[in-house]
């Protein structure tokens, strides 16, 4: 009985992973890579980069901030106590599935008001956040309130959040390839007080 349950659970886990991977395979065929690549000069021209997202999306954005720091960019996570004021020539990168999260939209308005550029990664190209942005990357995933199993069988915004991490990691990999730094050079910026 115990082995039967273990085998059933293993099959369920394998099925879940296959569902997730297949959703990503479907998604990558509909992603507009030119829109992602358009972020490269915007990031490279920024004095400082400010990153923001809420909830699980915020965690993915923090992961992106860490890798941008490893590449040598001057990057800050909005809401952290060490984040300075945003100003002219800076860049605000927001991740928001809906593009309507009040705190993120208000931060984008502030960034724009002081002369910073705003870009976003979202599922909603007609959202208030997208309207404030000079560049929008659309991830064709269900928003967390949607229950369309044709788009995703996963709970809430999981596909968006996972895709956000993958898209940002692909962008960072590309920035690294273009930069030509070695892994050893990047490692010098890795946290050493862990």
Digit-coded pLDDT (tens) for 44-85: 999 999 999 999 999 999 999 999 999 999 999 999 999 999
CB hemisphere CA count around 130 (13 angstroms)? 16
Helices (H), the chain: 2-28, 33-37, 39-45, 55-70, 102-113, 128-132, 158-179, 183-187
Question: Rounded to whole angstroms, how far apart are CA atoms 147 and 126?
Answer: 20
**139, 160 Cβ separation under 8 angstroms:** yes
- Token reading at 135: 């560049």
Residue indicated by tokens 């009040």 = 102
DSSP-derived 3-state class of residue 13: helix
98-137: pLDDT as tens digits: 999 999 999 999 999 999 999 999 999 999 999 999 999 9
Nearest to 163 by CA among 101, 115, 116, 97: 97
Domain limits of the chain? 32-187
Residue 162 has a pLDDT of: 96
Predicted TM-score (pTM) of this structure: 0.90
Strand order in the sheet with 75-77: 75-77, 49-52, 91-95, 117-122, 135-138
Stated length of the chain: 194
Res 29: pLDDT? 94
What digits encode the pLDDT tens for the residues 90-99?
999 999 999 9
Structure-model confidence comparison of residues 168 and 192, the more confident one:
168
Active site residues: 161
- Report pLDDT for 95: 97
Coil, strand or helix at 120:
strand
70: nearest Cα among 163, 194, 191: 191
CA angle, corner 55, sides to 49 and 59, nearest 5? 50
Residue 31 has pLDDT above 80, yes or no: yes
Place of tokens 């705190």: 103
What pLDDT is attached to residue 4? 66
Q: What share of the chain is helix, strand, coil (3-state, %, to 5)?
A: 50, 10, 40
Q: How confident is the model at residue 17 (pLDDT cuts 50, 70, 90)?
A: very high
| Top CATH class, 32-187 | alpha beta
Structure tokens at 17: 């992973």
For the stretch 144-160, pLDDT in tens is 555 566 678 888 789 99
């Amino acid at each position: 009985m115990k082995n039967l349950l273990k085998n059933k659970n293993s099959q369920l886990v394998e099925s879940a992973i296959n569902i997730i991977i297949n959703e990503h395979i479907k998604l990558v065929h509909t992603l507009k890579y030119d829109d992602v690549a358009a972020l490269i000069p915007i990031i490279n021209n920024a004095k400082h980069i400010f990153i923001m997202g809420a909830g699980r999306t915020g965690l993915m954005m923090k992961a992106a901030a860490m890798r941008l720091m490893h590449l040598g960019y001057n990057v800050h996570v909005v809401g952290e106590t060490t984040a300075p004021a945003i100003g002219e020539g800076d860049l605000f990168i927001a991740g928001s599935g809906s593009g309507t999260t009040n705190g993120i939209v208000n931060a984008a308005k502030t960034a724009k008001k002081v002369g910073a550029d705003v870009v976003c990664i979202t599922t909603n190209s007609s959202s208030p956040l997208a309207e404030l942005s000079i560049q929008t990357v659309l991830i064709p995933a269900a928003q967390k309130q949607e229950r369309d199993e044709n788009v995703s069988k996963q709970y809430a915004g999981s596909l968006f959040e996972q895709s956000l991490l993958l898209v940002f990691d692909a962008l960072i990999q590309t920035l690294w390839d273009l930069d030509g730094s070695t892994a050893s050079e990047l490692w010098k910026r890795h946290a050493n007080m862990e």
